[in-house]
């Protein structure tokens, strides 16, 4: 289990948006990988326990905490026991600024949403 000091070291590590999407996809669709932990699969592809694998896991955990914020909730749709996330939000989770509060890693919500907008497709022809 990681400690707050371990987490502080991983706060600045960014995960390529494509790798972040692959990480989350592995969580959702690959039961064998989910059983061993998707960070382990990412670490294996990266050649062992890596800062990127730890960062992906840390960022996914922080994104799950962010779902409680109504600003993030507007980007999701919920059905029964499922949450549907736009790809842009997951991609942004790989690069948005993280902070520590009360020994938990959380997203700076404004930074997360700004990054989400950068990955979103423009709507209409303005």
CA quadruple 99, 117, 78, 74: dihedral sign:
positive
Regions in the chain scoring below 50 on pLDDT = 1-2, 34, 43, 46-48
What's the pLDDT score for residue 114?
93
What's the pLDDT score for residue 81?
78
What's the pLDDT score for residue 109?
94
What's the pLDDT score for residue 46?
47
What's the pLDDT score for residue 123?
67
């Amino acid at each position: 289990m990681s400690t707050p000091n371990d987490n502080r070291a991983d706060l600045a590590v960014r995960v390529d948006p494509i790798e972040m999407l692959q990480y989350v996809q592995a969580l959702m669709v690959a039961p064998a990988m989910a059983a061993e932990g998707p960070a382990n699969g990412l670490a294996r592809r990266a050649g062992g326990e890596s800062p990127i694998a730890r960062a992906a896991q840390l960022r996914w955990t922080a994104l799950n905490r962010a779902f409680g914020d109504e600003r993030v909730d507007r980007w999701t749709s919920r059905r029964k026991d499922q949450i549907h996330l736009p790809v842009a939000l997951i991609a942004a989770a790989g690069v948005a600024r993280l902070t520590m509060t009360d020994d938990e890693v959380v997203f700076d919500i404004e930074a997360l949403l700004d990054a989400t907008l950068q990955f979103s497709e423009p709507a209409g022809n303005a």
